[in-house]
């Protein structure tokens, strides 16, 4: 029973970050939840390996990224859209944060897949370069060069410049 308790505690603590990371990798919120669930399911199946990993978070993020790659290779996820979407209660107006999130998501979607993965793992998941290298199966120098290229591209994004108050106010 110790195994289940350890896994449950880990999964509960990491669930929100895994879902948000999947969204930043390019998934919809629903797909991100499915992806995080898939990654955690894979972790549970091989929990002994996860526990023995030198860096558990890097190992789990590697599983998440690999699951993301697998999901993009498939043509169909097995779900069909509903004809009618049920109405939801209107939350407090969060237009500004939605606009900001949309701007960031669009800027990230303009990056190549590999550069977006590095940026998400570094700046959202707060993994170090060695952890990112382990999670993606690449050299630490490659992490640095991909991050530099991605940051150069993001710094030139006009929409992000608007968030900063214009190009002259960065």
Predicted confidence (pLDDT) per residue in 50-63, tens digit: 999 889 999 999 99
pLDDT in tens, 71-107: 877 555 455 666 666 665 555 656 667 778 888 888 8
CB-based contacts of 65: which residues, under 8 Å, 6+ apart?
25, 117, 121, 135, 136
CATH number of the domain located at residue range(s) 2-75+98-169 in this protein: 1.20.140.160
What is the model's pLDDT at position 99?
78
Domain ranges in the chain? 2-75+98-169
Structure tokens at 155: 């710094």
- Please give the DSSP secondary-structure letter assigned to residue 108: H
**Tokens 């998501």 sit on residue:** 105
Query: Which pLDDT does position 97 carry in this prediction?
Result: 73
Q: For the chain, which residues score pLDDT lower than 70? A: 1, 74-96, 164-170
Q: What is the pLDDT at residue 170?
A: 41
Q: What is the pLDDT of residue 169?
A: 45
For 37, the enclosing helix (H) or strand (E) is helix 29-45
């Amino acid at each position: 029973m110790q195994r289940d308790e350890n896994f449950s505690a880990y999964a509960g603590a990491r669930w929100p970050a895994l879902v948000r990371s999947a969204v930043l990798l390019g998934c919809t919120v629903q797909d991100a939840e499915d992806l995080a669930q898939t990654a955690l399911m894979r972790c549970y199946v091989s929990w002994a390996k996860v526990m023995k990993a030198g860096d558990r978070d890097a190992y789990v993020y590697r599983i998440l990224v690999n699951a993301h790659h697998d999901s993009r290779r498939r043509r169909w996820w097995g779900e069909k859209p509903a004809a009618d979407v049920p109405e939801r209660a209107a939350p407090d107006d969060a237009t500004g944060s939605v606009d900001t999130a949309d701007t960031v998501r669009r800027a990230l979607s303009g990056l190549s897949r590999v550069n977006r993965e590095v940026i998400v793992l570094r700046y959202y998941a707060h993994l170090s370069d060695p952890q990112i290298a382990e999670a993606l199966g690449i050299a630490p120098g490659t992490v640095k060069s991909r991050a530099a290229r991605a940051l150069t591209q993001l710094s030139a994004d006009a929409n992000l410049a608007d968030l900063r108050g214009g190009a002259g106010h960065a």
